[in-house]
Amino acid sequence: MTLSSKQISEMIKNKIPDAKIEIEDLRGDNNHYHAKITSKEFRGLSKIDQHKLIYSALGKHMGSTLHALMLTTKEI
């Protein structure tokens, strides 16, 4: 089972409602994505903490249902 880019976006939006999200399926396999996410929630957070926030939104899916996710985060 894999996750669609729409499902990933919805999970992130549930955790970070103001997020602007662009997701690219890098291999066309619904398993390797690059997500570009912009949010005011990232203000004052290190890149590591920004990424941890995204991973917490995806929960148990990281490393199981979702194999690879490259992140680019930016604060507004």
CATH of domain 5-70: 3.30.300.90
pLDDT in 10s for each residue of the chain, 76 residues: 889 999 999 999 999 999 999 999 999 998 899 999 999 999 999 999 999 999 999 999 988 889 899 999 999 9
Please name which of 48, 55, 58, 41 lies closest in space to residue 2, comparing C-alpha atoms: 58
Indicate if the alpha-carbon torsion angle 16, 17, 20, 25 is positive or negative.
positive
Q: Which pLDDT belongs to residue 67?
A: 87
Give the Å distances, CA to CA, from 12 to 27, 38, 52: 21, 11, 12
Indicate if the alpha-carbon torsion angle 63, 28, 1, 22 is positive or negative.
positive
